[in-house]
Amino acid sequence: MAKGAGGLPGFRDFYPEEFATRAFVLATWREVARRFGFTEYDGPPLEPLELYTKKSGEEIVGQLYNFVDKGGRDVALRPEMTPTFARMVGARANALPKPIRWFSVPQLFRYERQQKGRLREHFQLNVDIVGETDVTADAELVAVAIECMRGFGLESSDVIARVSDRRLLLAILEAIGVAPEQQGIALAVIDKLDRQPREVSVEKLQGAGVAARAVDRLLAFQQWDTTDAIRAVFPGNDGIGERLTNLDRYLEYCAALGVRDFVKLDLTIVRGLAYYTGIVFELFDAKGEFRAICGGGRYDNLLASLGGADLPALGFGMGDVVLGELLKSRGIRPAPSARIDYWIAFEDSAALPDAMRTATELRRRGNSAEYALRPMALRKQLEAAGKAGAPAAVILRADGQRVLRDLASGEEKPFTF
């Protein structure tokens, strides 16, 4: 899905072949969301700039396509959907039945450095649940993301959901002696444990004043990959125990939803955005070849700060760029289908109006039909039918008969509507 000649950097042209893949991805997203009972919504691609700076600070402006419109308003092309979602929910929070189960498939724009798996525009599936605090909703959310993978033909050998809990992480940091003012640095290091050298992690933690014993235990986070393993390290800690009990229930519900084989507990999943408050997850390809396919989690305080609705919420975003690279690497493409159902061919050029009437009747019956827009030899018409992918041709004979020819076998039979 590369940009065409003369196109803007980071933007894509979708020729029919690429568009077919995009349509396949978006249709799969919509079908899975529908099966889970989510309702589609959308918002404007252009929003007040303040909507994004309120959530992410003024530093976000450098990553936006923003300008002053003709009415003198500071506006920006949407870089994400969550602020719009929060605004819309906040406007009708009291009237909406709970839990709210919404999804959207917006095109998003972000002015940032292009790299593998990241462009300056992309389509993204956003799935959100509002109004439920129990981990049943968290399990339901990750199940939607995983069922999307199954919809693309991917299984647990292809994709893994790495799951953590921000509240559990904070409880562990407190238990090992990381002071509140050191927790931001600690979380940033945890987030990069598998992507930066050990000595770099140690240097950053020591520079923040984290005690040596706490540093050693932080670096062991990757080894604690089951709730029982964590319990064994922190026996009798009520705060950690409560979070682990919730995680056990979450994993039990994932099993009931048929996605447990995809889910792995991984305390190094932090999610860089500070607004997450509970269980978080990211989807990765099992081979580790690509960036995260999808990420999200619980953000119970965000709606109150953005949209004025004090409601618990959770959601995820899944972009089409990394996903497209993964599908390509696995040889997964939408099944080729005929562009048209029937080609209408004619032996006598005077039959062109009859070919038009035949095509019109077929189209009105729900079929796709095409014919030559100018007179040409029957052989040329049938060659064009084959190139168009038509499985059959309706041939209008010079003697007035109509026959249906199977273009693969050459067999013919009389044609009637």
pLDDT in tens, 321-377: 999 999 999 999 886 666 899 999 999 999 999 999 999 999 999 999 999 999 999
Flag whether pLDDT at 160 surpasses 60. Answer: yes
pLDDT mean across residues, the chain: 93
Closest to 182 (Cα-Cα) out of 157, 162, 208: 208
**What does the domain layout of the chain look like in residue ranges?**
16-329, 342-414
Q: Residue 110's pLDDT is what?
A: 95
Q: Residue 7's pLDDT is what?
A: 83
* Predicted confidence (pLDDT) per residue in 42-71, tens digit: 999 999 999 999 888 888 999 999 999 999
Name the E strands within 258-301: 263-265, 279-285, 294-298
Whether domain 342-414 has CATH 3.40.50.800: yes
Which CATH entry fits the domain spanning 16-329: 3.30.930.10, 3.40.47.10, 2.40.50.140, 3.30.200.20? Answer: 3.30.930.10
Flag whether pLDDT at 274 surpasses 80. Answer: no
Q: Residue 252's pLDDT is what?
A: 98
Q: Are the CB atoms for 273 and 169 separated by under 8 Å?
A: no
Q: Residue 112's pLDDT is what?
A: 85
Q: Are the CB atoms for 325 and 150 separated by under 8 Å?
A: no
CA distance 31 to 273: 29
Q: Are the CB atoms for 39 and 30 separated by under 8 Å?
A: no
Flag whether pLDDT at 267 surpasses 50. Answer: yes
pTM of the predicted structure, to 2 decimals: 0.90
CA 223 vs CA 170, 210, 216, 405, 415: distances in Å: 17, 20, 12, 66, 70
Mean pLDDT, to the nearest integer, of 241-261? 97
Mean pLDDT, to the nearest integer, of 229-252? 95
Q: Residue 229's pLDDT is what?
A: 93
Q: Residue 321's pLDDT is what?
A: 95
Mean pLDDT, to the nearest integer, of 86-103? 94
Flag whether pLDDT at 133 surpasses 60. Answer: yes
Flag whether pLDDT at 417 surpasses 70. Answer: yes
Q: Residue 300's pLDDT is what?
A: 94
Phi, psi of 71 (to 5 degrees): -95, 5
What CA dihedral angle connects 399, 400, 405 and 411, to 10 degrees? -50
Q: Residue 2's pLDDT is what?
A: 47
Continuous segment of H or E residues that includes residue 413: strand 412-414
Q: What percent of the chain has pLDDT over 90?
A: 78
Flag whether pLDDT at 172 surpasses 80. Answer: yes
Mean pLDDT, to the nearest integer, of 81-92? 94
Q: What percent of the chain has pLDDT over 70?
A: 97
Q: Residue 4's pLDDT is what?
A: 47
